[in-house]
């Protein structure tokens, strides 16, 4: 059996401890990113109504009203999803479909 001096053991343990601390920091960052990604794919609210109502209640701007009204129709009920502070037509909070 080989005997390792106490100072060398202390250095190894210190290096191991700091390595574990670094990995713990990385793991918490990855977990926070996963939670953020999960939250980004889940809308906080959904409202169905015609484009005219969405425009009147401030969920879309005038330029969005013109674009979406032409695409979907101004009086046909469309569902908008609240993702963060933005309303979108995507139920997964991705880019508008």
Q: What is the pLDDT of residues 25-77, one digit of tens each?
A: 554 454 444 444 445 578 999 999 999 999 999 999 999 999 988 988 899 99
Residue 26 belongs to domain spanning: 1-40
| Domain assignment of residue 94, yes or no | no
Burial 24-34 (b: 16+ CB within 10 A, else e): eeeeeeeeeee
Asked, for residue 63, whether it belongs to a domain, the answer is: yes
60 within 8 A of 82, measured Cβ to Cβ: no
Identify whether 93 is part of a domain: no
Looking at the structure, tell me whether residues 56 and 82 fall in a common domain: yes
Residues 31 and 1 grouped into a single domain: yes
State the total domains in the chain.
2
Question: Residue 93's pLDDT is what?
Answer: 87
| pLDDT at 36 (0 to 100) | 47
What token pair was written down for 90? 């995507």
pLDDT of residue 19: 54
Residue 95 lies inside a defined structural domain of this protein? no
Instruction: Compare 17 and 67 and report the one with higher pLDDT.
Output: 67
Question: Same domain, yes or no, for 68 and 33?
Answer: no
Q: Within this chain, do residues 52 and 22 fall inside the same structural domain, yes or no?
A: no
- Residue 94, pLDDT > 90, answer no
Whole-number pLDDT of residue 12: 54
pLDDT at site 61: 93
Same domain, 51 and 80: yes
């Amino acid at each position: 059996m080989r005997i390792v001096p106490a100072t060398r053991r202390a250095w190894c343990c210190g290096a191991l401890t700091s390595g574990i601390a670094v990995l713990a920091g990385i793991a918490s960052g990855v977990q926070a990113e996963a939670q953020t990604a999960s939250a980004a794919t889940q809308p906080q609210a959904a409202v169905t109504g015609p484009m005219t109502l969405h425009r009147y209640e401030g969920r879309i701007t005038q330029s969005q009203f013109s674009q979406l009204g032409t695409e979907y129709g101004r009086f046909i009920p469309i569902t908008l999803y609240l993702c963060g502070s933005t309303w979108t037509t995507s139920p997964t909070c991705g880019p508008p479909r």
